[in-house]
Amino acid sequence: MNPAGFSEQLLRAWAIAKKDIRIYYIKGPVLIFGVFMPLFMFLAFLMGTKQLPLSFLISGLVGMTLFFTATAVSPAIFPWEGQAKTLERLASCPVTVEAIVFGDMIASTLFGIGITIITVIIGMMLGLSLLHGITLLVAILIAACCFSAIGMLLAVPPTNVPSNIMMLSSLIKFPLVFISGIFIPLDQMPAWGLALAVFSPLTYFTDLVRYAFTDTHYFPVIIDIAALAVFTAIFTVGTMYLHKRTMPQRM
């Protein structure tokens, strides 16, 4: 693709992102699953334990917030649009499948970043000190892209029934939360739990958030950032490739 064509596809992806934000993200269910769900899980765990410091728990809340908000809607956008027959109209336009997927990812990335920054501010209002703000900002940017790519990857099965995709999404997302060091410190996990944790991108993001607030971490910071970047690249390339293959089956 020539540079002019590439820039045109980027503009079309941005138009798709604005459409997604306007239609899908400013909705009650998104707030419930993307914001209140991690908040209620955090409060339940806070009331159930007195052994972990607030900084540990708030860091976990930040990690859950970005993960849930960036994957709240993106898995269901393709099924919704397929069900409403708007996906066929979009595919008939001069826009590539990659641009459609990228536009959906932009929307979920921006939504996740916005809500997560609010959560970080709340943590600081509760008395936590932000010791490594630049590191946290970089972590949020990379992780938002990574989690939005995961959300789009969950939408790959060519079904136009949103509930099927959301069931699959919940089946994958909740186990990731519990193996990623959100509620249990990584150094207290059994060997099998730690072996699973290293395969979750949420593990590395949560580790970076804890470093930003407490100056402590399990993995070296450069490893956390590099792991997030690798996961982002793999999931992004994979979701675009798979959506390009399954798009004809949605029509």
The sign one gets for the Cα dihedral 170, 172, 178, 182 is: negative
The three-state secondary structure class of 71 is coil
Q: Does residue 29 register a pLDDT over 90?
A: no
Those residues whose C-beta lies under 8 Å from the C-beta of residue 175, and which sit 6 or more positions away, are none
Amino acid 216 reads T
187-218, pLDDT tens digit by residue?
888 889 899 999 999 999 999 999 999 898 89
Taking a C-beta distance cutoff of 8 angstroms, is the pair 67, 42 a contact?
Answer: no
pLDDT of residue 174: 84
CA 200 to chain centre: 12
Amino acid 93 reads C
Q: Does residue 184 register a pLDDT over 90?
A: no
- 222 pLDDT band, cuts 50/70/90, is very high
Share of the chain above pLDDT 90, in %: 29
DSSP letter at 128 equals -
DSSP state letters, 131-152: S-HHHHHHHHHHHHHHHHHHHH
Amino acid 144 reads A
- Interval 36-43 mean pLDDT: 69
Higher local confidence (pLDDT), 234 or 59:
234
Q: Across the chain, which distance is largest between two alpha carbons, in Å?
A: 59
Taking a C-beta distance cutoff of 8 angstroms, is the pair 116, 65 a contact?
Answer: yes
Domains in the chain, number: 1
Q: Does residue 137 register a pLDDT over 90?
A: yes
Domain that holds residue 110: 3-250
Higher local confidence (pLDDT), 245 or 27:
245
